[in-house]
Amino acid sequence: MKFSESLKETAKHSWELSLNHPFVQGIVNGDLPLETFKNYIMQDIYYLKHYGKIHAFAAAHADDFSLVSKLADKARRTAEAELTVHNEHARILKITDEDIENFKPAPTAYAYTSHLYRAALSGNLAEIVAAMLPCYWLYADIGLQNKDAKPGVEIYENWIGTYASEWFQTSTNEMIDLLDELAEKASGDEKEKIKEQFIIAKEYELAFWEMSYTFESWLSEQKKIKETI
């Protein structure tokens, strides 16, 4: 078993919960309220801004120039994906520039990106890649598992199609292969650190669905709402 496969096996329960989360199944079945998807997209726009920067951190940690170039290119593609979200999803979901300018991330979105920065600032290249990988791998699995789904909602069909696409599957496999290559040179203690980064990031992926589905907010905001009822 490859090192990456052992990581995924360790996260099996969390992985299955993610694949079958009501948020994901709502997209697949076409019955997720668009307002819920809009909440997710707003959080994801925030996430992608930082996710792209983490790729740049990873590129800065790489010694091989071809790898630096590859990771830098992935940072560029992430930025382009963000623009696609802005231009396509924002139009359909009627997200305004003012909405984006005034947006504040939910606790989970803030914590997840903070975890990525911690990996980038305190870890080595393998740890950074491990922290980034669950996002690639989980979405790729969702795309493959549901590639023949017909939710009947254009924005949901496009979302599934993006992650089922050959380019995204290829990009994901490149990141998996990179982690396995880096892990071959890692000591036992280093592999444990790599594993920890991967597992925590995977838990945040699951939490991201729940955050989006339940419209998670900061505790003070929840209390303020209750006080007005």
Q: Using one digit for the tens of pLDDT, what is the confidence trace for 105-114? A: 999 999 999 9
Tens-place pLDDT, residues 60-107 = 898 888 888 888 887 787 777 666 766 788 888 988 888 888 999 999
pLDDT score, position 68: 86
pLDDT digits (tens, 9 = 90+) for 46-59: 998 899 899 989 99
* Amino acid making up residue 68: V
State the pLDDT at residue 226.
66
- Which secondary-structure segment (H or E) carries 34? helix 34-61
If pLDDT is split at 50, 70 and 90, which confidence band does 225 have? low
**What pLDDT is attached to residue 82?**
64
Q: What CA–CA distance (Å, rounded) separates 80 from 225? A: 37
Instruction: Judge contact between 72 and 59, C-beta under 8 A.
Output: yes
pLDDT in tens, 2-30: 999 999 999 999 999 999 999 999 999 99
Catalytic residue, chosen from 80, 135, 190, 221, is 135
The pLDDT assigned to 26 comes to 98
Most distant CA pair in the chain: distance in Å? 59
Distance, in Å, from the CA atom of 8 to the CA atom of 51, rounded to the nearest integer, reads: 21
Band of residue 117 on the pLDDT scale cut at 50, 70, 90: very high
* Alpha carbons 101 and 49: distance in angstroms, whole number: 13
Mean of the per-residue pLDDT values of the chain = 92
Burial per residue of 83-106, b for 16 or more beta-carbon CB atoms within 10 angstroms, e otherwise: eebbeebbeebebeeeeeeeeebb
User: Per residue in 164-223, pLDDT tens?
Assistant: 999 889 989 999 999 999 999 999 999 999 999 999 999 999 999 999 999 999 988 787
92, 132, 164 from 51: Cα distances, Å: 24, 8, 20
Residues 6+ apart with CB under 8 A from 140: 163, 168, 169, 172
Catalytic hit among 82, 205, 210, 227? 205
Whether 227 is catalytic: no
Tell me if residue 135 is catalytic: yes
Per 3-state DSSP, what percentage of the chain is helix, strand, and coil (rounded to 5)?
A: 85, 0, 15
In this predicted structure, the answer to whether residue 228 has a pLDDT above a threshold of 80 is no
Dihedral over Cα of 97, 101, 103, 109: its sign: positive
pLDDT value at residue 73: 83
